[in-house]
Amino acid sequence: MGEHPSPGPAVAACAEAERIEELEPEAEEQLPAAPEDFDPGNTGYISTGKFRSLLESHSSKLDPHKREVLLALADSHADGQICYHDFISLMSNKRSNSFRQAILQGNRRLSSKALLEEKGLSLSQRLIRHVAYETLPREIDRKWYYDSYTCCPPPWFMITVTLLEVAFFLYNGVSLGQFVLQVTHPRYLKNSLVYHPQLRAQAWRYLTYIFMHAGIEHLGLNVVLQLLVGVPLEMVHGATRIGLVYVAGVVAGSLAVSVADMTAPVVGSSGGVYALVSAHLANIVMNWSGMKCQFKLLRMAVALICMSMEFGRAVWLRFHPSAYPPCPHPSFVAHLGGVAVGITLGVVVLRNYEQRLQDQSLWWIFVAMYTVFVLFAVFWNIFAYTLLDLKLPPPP
């Protein structure tokens, strides 16, 4: 039998990273030990000379963009040493803040042409490149995403949520015999998914209300924004992070209504949608010079106009004479709860592509603020309605 070829450096590094993750760290600043060939003194660092020789001997096995990142990492260390932990993290697609700072502060500019200038790309490659330029402000992040994205798993969260919303809307439309302004139907609020102030003790309603929409005009805009904004964001940041922002916006929306518009029901996924869209727009504004998406000013204006029209529709509907008095039509406050989540938690997520959120102080500040709000809203729902002697509409 022939001998098996020796594994490349990326494979070996990934295996080493997996072994490191299984060990319980003894101290926060302890570094994993590097192999003796790289680090004979067991210092946790390797010399840039050995690092370069390793790159040169295995350059054909590395993606060209990743090789550029590695070279930039080597050139950014004037002291001639590279943290072996950064090297392991890089090869296992887990970049630390110290790695990012090493790249951004490096004294070597990436030499190859920008990703946007590359020719001869397939349709799928052009799509991935387009998503990178739509969502990421740094060229080095765009190249990293372009080389690393495998579409496994696909953006399943936003697609699944959208399909469920459409399915529930069609089912309700057939049941009620009405698709436009469904919310005006006398039996609309009888659905067990709608948040209703008299039924606020049924905790699932704070989340399931997203599957009920006021009408096809309400559903249409939310679906378009979820697919055009949510799917690309999920392709870049993953289902866990985007799902977290979306669900946080949904829950914040219903809780905000229960505090600020206490007699009104809630329907629609606008809380989650506005969380994602506001986070994306805020990220573009904060990184305006770095974002290279086409017609960004025009597209931001269109997005803001669409969001304003949808918000205006919700305000108009809230104060329109109700089809089921004394209960008013659904509240518009959920939109504002979603925006608040988007410009806090959402911005931190989008600004830290492939960075550990637990290392970001702003992340913990906004998580603490969100937790305080949720606890406040829970106690408000338990005690405030009784203390204020508020007269609520009867249950549907």
How would you classify the pairing of strands 81-83 and 45-47? antiparallel
126 in a structural domain: no
**Scanning the structure block, which residue is given the tokens 């990934």?**
14
Question: What's the CATH number where 42 sits?
Answer: 1.10.238.10
Distance CA 165, CA 277 (A): 18
CA-wise closest residue to 195 among 178, 211, 216: 211
DSSP string covering 5-37, please?
A: PPPPHHHHHHHHHHHHHHSPPSSTTPPPPPPTT
Same domain flag for 220 and 306: yes
In a domain, 396, yes or no: no
pLDDT given for residue 82 in this prediction: 64
Last residue of a domain, one of 68, 88, 108: 88
The 3-state DSSP class for residue 327 equals strand
Whether residue 234 sits in one domain with residue 331: yes
Does residue 307 share a domain with residue 174?
yes
pLDDT of residue 98: 46
Does residue 23 fall inside a structural domain? no
Structural domains counted in the chain: 2
Q: Which stretches of the chain score pLDDT less than 70?
A: 1-45, 48, 51-52, 54-113
Same domain for 271 and 380, yes or no, is yes
Q: What is d(CA 53, CA 11) in angstroms, rounded to the nearest whole number? A: 17
Could you tell me if 71 and 170 lie in one domain? no
Q: How far is 95 from 170, CA to CA, in rounded Å?
A: 44
> Are 78 and 161 found together in one domain?
no
Residue 58 has a pLDDT of 62
The verdict on 377 and 276 lying in the same domain is: yes
263 within 8 A of 393, measured Cβ to Cβ: yes
Q: Which residues are catalytic?
A: 270, 335
pLDDT score at 290 = 83
59/161 same-domain check: no
Domain boundary among 88, 107, 129: 88
pLDDT tens sequence across 142-187? 887 888 888 888 999 999 999 999 999 999 999 999 998 889 898 9
Same domain (yes/no): 164, 84: no
CA dist 191 and 193 (Å) reads 6
Give φ, ψ of 51 to 5 degrees: -65, -45
366 and 344 in contact (C-beta within 8 Å)? yes
- In this structure, which amino acid lies at residue 159? I
- The domain in which residue 83 lies consists of 36-88
Say if 317 falls within a structural domain. yes
Q: What CATH number is given to the structural domain containing 177?
A: 1.20.1540.10
CA dihedral defined by 362, 367, 368, 371, rounded to 10 degrees?
Answer: 160
* 46, part of any domain: yes
pTM strictly above 0.95: no
CA–CA distances in Å: residue 281 to residues 71, 313, 323, 370: 33, 21, 36, 21
| Domain stop point among 88, 111, 130 | 88
Dist. CA 342–CA 273, nearest whole Å: 9
CB-based contact 383:376 (threshold 8 Å): no
Please indicate, yes or no, whether residues 267 and 372 belong to a single structural domain of this protein: yes
- Both 225 and 348 in one domain: the answer is yes
* Residues 80, 216 within the same domain: no
The verdict on residue 63 lying in a domain is yes
What pLDDT, on the 0 to 100 scale, is given for residue 352?
84
